[in-house]
Amino acid sequence: MTRDKPGFVLIHGAWHGAATWREVVPRLQARGFAAWALDLPGAGASARWPARLDAQTSPNAGVSQRERTTAVLALIDEVAAGCTGKVVLVGHSMGGVTVSAVAEAVPEKLAAAVYLCAFLLPPGLPAVAMIEDPIMQDALVPGLLLGDPTQTGALRIDVASQDQTTIRRLKATFYDDVDDAAFTEIRKTLHSDEPLQVALEPSPITAARFGQVPRHYIRCRDDRAIPLAGQNAMIERTDRALGSPTQIHDLAASHSPFLSQPEALAEILAGIGSGA
């Protein structure tokens, strides 16, 4: 990797882990960028599973956004040390919450913040409010949720279900244009309980700090987890609140272009990195 380019730090979304990016990381590296993904606290290898899906309290319920922000800040320092001193921070889906928190905390360390069909939330708005917004009425995620999140402390889905109807719904929600073999493999890496605390955290962004960072949004036009109308609403509301524009890129993809269109996604990201 060359020191004249920023590095990439890649953040996964809810119920996912670092494996989200396994097709994208080598493509960025082939273009001369350092690129790293991590399992956020409460996700991937660090996720804890409930003994039963009808259990009342999730073992992941205590995971906070502060823990996730801290983990990403540590990786940014490591990656930046081998590059230009700055990184391009990319978040998918719920990973956008962490991108915003990190960008507000250390805007001077970021070359760009990139939201891949992610929660780009205006100041003070938590992800759960956006999930419940009427503009998200076509989203399929609520149909997968199990139990009462206020009781379990988690957004819970049955990622290991053997029921064919549930499996089809899971694929339609997140991986509608992903081939069956790739879907089968990625499903093995998912966890069931996404910490509710993260979705309840109000967006901390300000024009004075977050607003210093060039921001990009990669819209996925066929997304059924965060429909295009929801993506557009978040961009418009954030731009209006901050008084500055988000740069928009488009993919004709579902919620998971890192699997269905990794080459096209890597090309967009490399372009952002080259211009940063």
pLDDT tens-place string over residues 132-169: 999 999 999 999 999 999 999 999 999 999 999 999 99
What is the residue-averaged pLDDT of the chain? 96
The tens digit of pLDDT for each residue in 87-107 reads 999 999 999 999 999 999 999
Q: What is the per-residue pLDDT for 276?
A: 65
**Neighbour-count burial for 213-230, b at 16+ CB within 10 Å, e otherwise:** bbbbbbbbebbbbbbbbb
What residues have CB less than 8 Å from 215, skipping those under 6 apart? 103, 112, 113, 114, 115, 120, 246, 247
The label of the residue with tokens 């300000």 reads 206
- Does the predicted TM-score (pTM) go above 0.95? yes
Check residues 64 and 55 and name the one with the higher pLDDT: 64
Which structure tokens are listed for 118? 């992610």
pLDDT for the residue numbered 275: 86
Determine the Cα–Cα distance for residues 40 and 45; give it in Å rounded to an integer. 9
CATH code for residues 7-275 = 3.40.50.1820
| CA 271 to mean position of chain CA atoms | 20
**Residue 2 confidence (pLDDT) above 90:** no
Q: What is the mean pLDDT of residues 123-135?
A: 97
Residue 122: CB atoms within 10 A of its CB come to: 19
